[in-house]
Chains A and B, each alone.
Chain A
């Protein structure tokens, strides 16, 4: 066993060994919880986007109904609100995206709306900061409708460790799926 003859430097040496260990443990813990938080925040945004999307068919049908000349005033009022919302905040959409085809585009837009207020660059930065590999580009949002009314949103992304001192790389691929029932009007009574 190495015997220290003198007391000089022993404290410094001890601190040099112990402090990084402590800091590493701290940062690792925070990094871990950062990952958990990122995953939960992305999931919540996805769920909210799904809820919002599921209401689109109803809103669109209502607007179509308001297109009746009798309700011109109501239509103008509502349409102006919708246009305002869709152009600035992307919280809703007046196109009939739900009638088929790929709905991933509108799903991703809606995700961004709920994740970062509709600002793509902000969403990109936020995702990167959270450790999503590739930021917004690295986040894959898929939307599909099955059984006519069942909307399924899927997100897939690589999450990396925030304080990767030892270059462990990506810690895991995250896949989440949320399912929603569309508020579809499917008017049987309208002629």
Chain B
């Protein structure tokens, strides 16, 4: 080993001695040894940088080509919806390749690159992608739109929360209690009629009883006369009994027997009628027992009467006083008390008559009378038997009662002594008159205050006239929303709205009946008619208000909850980061302001500036694409054949579709109308219930109490009329309302200012104007009568929420309803369905196809390239080959 090392060392020494020869050439060698690695490293670094630059340039060229490909947008989607997706006219790869080939030379000779492949990805059927695009587009537009509309949502939401639902619930609870009382009173009043009928029959039976007795008495006298005559005509040789063989005697006997039968029968009838009368009176008393607890004292009073221990002069006012103490002063309680006051008055009238016509201990007296009558009937039976025996020539020994043996000693006096009518005084024979008087008194009570009556009748009549102006309902839409359409075209409409429509119809009919009862003075038994009308109306009100409460709980509560995040977002202003609350706001705003509704479809435009009227022309087809989660899933051509959803889809009423989600254009409008009506009713509660004029009617009895309900409903319907015709209403009314002398002319004025009705000088507008003129002309006198006592000269409204909500339109209500009732996912599904439908129709007209699943928002490219190496080391070439996948999107 050592020897070998020494040999190597020697060899090196010899080499250096020979080549360097001392210091000669040392520098070159040194530089070669040191610079070579340095230069190599530098070259590698430079190559790396070159590679990075080349990579960046390749990426730049591909991005640029992808960018140009993205520029082939679907123009319709962009213009109409503000959505960006690539056109489906050409394959994505074709467009991309065109630009890539044009820009490829920018890479020079740096790289070898194959033609990349490009395809679309992330389409608009993806909810997340769709939503993001909506957010992006709406970020400024929606807030700007809302700023233009000057909505102050926060203020509104606070007010909505303040308009407590307890008020409604208390009201309906009171209405329910009153309806229960009315139901009992209706039964009670019906039993008054039955008592009157029974009393009349009873009186008739008495008359018959007495008449039949008269007949019997006459016939017995005839028998006696015939016997005396026969006796006078007897020969000496004749037997005394021969008189019975005389034909005149036999005829008299037969007539007397018939009379006795009649008399006995009339006695029976008398008993029957008296029993019936007793039953009706008992029923009347039983009905009183069914009165609500608030009437306990009055009921006790009647029970005392029946038990024969009535003490007159009990102060019935105690009921009211106690109730007044129990009341917490809420509006509903006041309404309930007003109704009870009315019923109490009626009950007092009944009490007076009852005391006069039904004596104390009448039941015991009746029993005694019935015993006497039954005894008398038995005696008459014996008389009849005696008469029959005589006719059959039986011997007197066969007679059970010798005293009824008819002979020459019998006379009228005897007949009267045995069989004369009993003196039955337990129930007055003038009872029917007394009870008829009771009915008249009740009818008088039923007559409302003339002022209220005039107000109510006028109100109903004007409302009725206005509702005849068909265009108030259908606006200018081609598809009219009329009552029959509500149920006929309710495809996909939610059930609650359907019920609401039905209950509204019932209520309208009930109000009409109520008004008729008040109007028609010729009605006999007006009290009962009024009770029936009120009962029907109350039940309709309860049903309708029940629907309203359910709606309120579902919608207003949700609205407040759902929009809490929106309100917080609004607090931050436009510049706030797009948080969840703002996103919700943007989505709802987009649905509301980027789509036409039945008011705006003609003259409005989308947020993109696209004309609604163009959409109307475009959206006349049906969408049958499957695969979306939204509305049209499962909807087929077969459905069209059956007529379901057969309307031109959403012709102008897309905002309504966003709210309801039905594929029936009419159903969407009808359900939206109902929702809007409920919304108006909810918002009007405050104004109507606190209206000074209507407050004054509280004490005016039953009709006055009903007026307030009717006003609430009519006021809300008038609001809805105005809204669906493009008018504006104050969201909250604080002092005066349309249904007042000051308010109604302003309502007409507001109606005339609506764009939909009178905005255009065309035949439709002229026709509408004419109809409205006629309606107003017909109701001119009525309008003058619509003057609530507290109505001022000026309609001052909207003070509860200042600013923008003094003037809210259809679209504002639509915005709130969508925010409150439609979840984000459902809303996006509806939007996607709409986009599919409209875009498909548009492209079909252009001879192209459209599928939301192919509405790509990104380009995916795959590229293989290799850098041309500056340093061509063997085996290093693979290190320069790369595959790049890149994405570009909107």
Q: A93: which B residues are within 8 A, CB to CB? A: none
A43 contacts B67, C-beta separation under 8 Å: no
Which residues of the partner chain B approach A164 to less than 8 Å between Cβ atoms? none
The verdict on B27 contacting chain A, using a C-beta distance below 8 Å, is yes
- A18-B28, A43-B106 in contact; A183/B71 too (CB < 8 A)? yes
User: Measured between C-beta atoms, what is the minimum distance from A35 to chain B in Å?
Assistant: 11
Which residues does chain A contribute within 8 Å of B71, judged by CB atoms?
54, 149, 180-184
- CA–CA, A44 and B52, complex, Å: 13
State whether the Cβ of A11 lies closer than 8 Å to any Cβ in chain B.
yes
Interface residues on A, range: 35 or more
> Residue B147 contacts which of A4, A73, A183, A189 (CB distance < 8 angstroms)?
A73
Distance in angstroms from A107 CB to nearest chain B CB is: 15
How many residues of chain B get a CB closer than 8 Å to chain A's CBs?
57
Check A54 against B68 for contact (C-beta < 8 Å).
yes
A75 to chain B, nearest CB (A): 8
Give the residue of A33, A182, A186 whose beta carbon is less than 8 angstroms from that of B75. Answer: A186
B-contact bits for A35-53, CB 8 A (1 contact / 0 none): 0110110011001101100
Query: Complex formed: what's the CA distance from A18 to B102 in Å?
Result: 48
Of B17-25, B439-447, B778-786, the one with at least 4 CB within 8 A of chain A: B17-25
Are A4 and B24 also in contact (CB < 8 A) when A29-B43, A71-B144 are?
yes
Interface flag for B72 (CB, 8 Å): yes
Contact, CB under 8 Å: A26 / B23: no
Contact of B53 among A36, A71, A73, A178 (CB under 8 A): A36
Nearest A residue to B59 via CB reads A44
A2 to nearest B CB, angstroms? Answer: 12
A54 to B72 CA separation, bound complex (whole angstroms): 12
- CB-based contact B103/A47 at 8 Å: yes
Interface assignment of A74: CB less than 8 Å from any CB of chain B: yes
Kindly identify which residue among A11, A71, A181, A183 contacts B23, using a CB–CB cutoff of 8 Å.
A11
Could you mark each residue 605-621 of chain B with 1 if its beta carbon is under 8 Å from any beta carbon of chain A, else 0? 10111110010000000
B287 CB-CB contact with A under 8 Å: no
Interface of chain A residues 53 through 111 with chain B (CB within 8 A):
54, 65, 68, 70-75, 77-78
Q: How far is the CB of B206 from chain A (nearest CB, A)?
A: 87
A25 within 8 A of B: yes
Q: Which residues of B contact A190 (CB under 8 A)?
A: 79, 609-611
Interchain nearest-CB distance for B870 vs A (Å): 9
- Is the CB–CB distance between B57 and A44 below 8 Å? yes
Asked whether B60 lies within 8 Å of A26 as measured between CB atoms, the reply is no
What residues of chain A lie closer than 8 Å to B824, measured between beta carbons?
none
Give, as a whole number of angstroms, the nearest-CB distance from B628 to chain A. 24
- From B103, B143, B147, give the contact of A178 (CB < 8 A): B103
Q: For residue B881, which residues in chain A have a CB less than 8 angstroms away from its CB? A: none
CB distance from B115 to the nearest CB of A (A): 16
Whether B64 contacts A36 by the Cβ 8 Å rule is no
Confirm or deny: A10 has a beta carbon within 8 angstroms of a beta carbon on chain B: yes
Question: Cβ of A177 < 8 Å from any Cβ of B?
Answer: yes
Q: A89 to B39, alpha carbons, bound, how many Å? A: 41
Q: A72: which B residues are within 8 A, CB to CB? A: 144, 148
Convert B858-883 into 0s and 1s, putting 1 for each residue whose CB lies closer than 8 angstroms to a CB of A: 00000000000000000000000000
Interface check A19, CB cutoff 8 A: yes
CB-CB under 8 A from A50, the residues of chain B are 64
Q: Is the CB of B140 within 8 A of A22?
A: no
Chain A, Cβ-Cβ closest to B70:
A183
Contacts of A48 in B (CB 8 A): 60
Central interface residue in A19, A29, A44, by most chain B CB within 10 Å: A44
- Does A40 contact B611, Cβ atoms closer than 8 Å? no
Residues A97-151 near B (CB distance < 8 A): 149
Does chain B have a CB within 8 A of A24?
no
Q: Which residues of B contact A37 (CB under 8 A)?
A: 49-50, 53
Whole-angstrom distance between the alpha carbons of A50 and B106 in the complex?
Answer: 13
Q: Does A179 sit at the interface, judged by CB under 8 A?
A: yes
Distance in angstroms from B47 CB to nearest chain A CB is: 9
Q: Is the CB of A15 within 8 A of B144?
A: no
- CB A122 to nearest CB in B, in angstroms, measures 21
| A40 vs chain B, min Cβ distance (A) | 5
Which chain A residue shows the least CB distance to B38? A26
B202 part of interface (Cβ distance < 8 Å)? no
Given A10-B24, A36-B50, A44-B56: A189 and B61 interface contact (C-beta under 8 Å): no
**B60→A19 contact, CB < 8 A:** no
Determine which of A40, A177, A185, A189 lies in contact with B610 in the assembled complex, contact meaning CB atoms within 8 Å: A189
Q: Which B1-55 residues sit within 8 Å CB-CB of chain A?
A: 22-28, 31, 35, 39, 42-43, 46, 49-50, 53-54
- Bound Cα distance from A15 to B30, whole angstroms: 10
Question: Is B768 positioned at the interface, with any CB of A under 8 Å from its CB?
Answer: no
Measured between beta carbons, the chain B residues less than 8 angstroms from A184 are 71
CA distance A18 to B103 in the complex (A): 45
CA distance A51 to B25 in the complex (A): 58
Separation of A112 and B50 alpha carbons in the complex (Å): 23
A74-B141 in contact (CB<8A): yes
Q: Is the CB of A33 within 8 A of B99?
A: no
**Chain B's nearest CB lies how many Å from the CB of A183?**
4
Q: Given A54-B68, A180-B99, A190-B610, is A22 in contact with B35 using a C-beta cutoff of 8 Å?
A: yes
Tell whether A187 is near chain B: CB-to-CB under 8 Å: yes
What residue of chain B has the Cβ atom nearest to residue A44's Cβ?
B60
List the A side residues contacting B28 at CB < 8 Å: 14, 18
| Residue in B closest to A12 when the chains form the complex, CB atoms | B27
- Which residue from chain A places its CB closest to the CB of B107 in the assembled complex? A43
Bound Cα distance A50, B68 (Å): 10
- Residues from chain B with a CB closer than 8 A to the CB of A68 are 605, 609
Check: B105 CB closer than 8 A to any chain A CB.
Answer: yes
Chain B positions within 8 Å of A, measured between CB atoms, are 22-28, 31, 35, 39, 42-43, 46, 49-50, 53-54, 56-57, 60-61, 63-64, 67-69, 71-73, 75-76, 78-80, 95, 99, 102-103, 105-106, 108, 110, 140-141, 143-145, 147-148, 574, 605, 607-611, 614
Known: A36-B53, A50-B64. 15 other contacts (CB 8 A): A11-B26, A14-B24, A14-B28, A37-B53, A44-B60, A51-B64, A70-B605, A73-B148, A179-B68, A179-B102, A179-B103, A181-B68, A181-B72, A185-B75, A185-B79
Q: List 3 tightest A-B contacts by C-beta distance, closest first.
A: A74-B144, A181-B68, A179-B102
- What are 10 pairs between A and B in contact, CB < 8 Å? A10-B24, A22-B31, A37-B50, A43-B60, A70-B145, A74-B140, A179-B102, A179-B103, A181-B71, A189-B614
Interface residues of A (CB under 8 A from B): 4, 7, 10-11, 14-15, 18-19, 22, 25-26, 29-30, 33, 36-37, 39-40, 43-44, 47-48, 50-51, 54, 65, 68, 70-75, 77-78, 149, 176-191
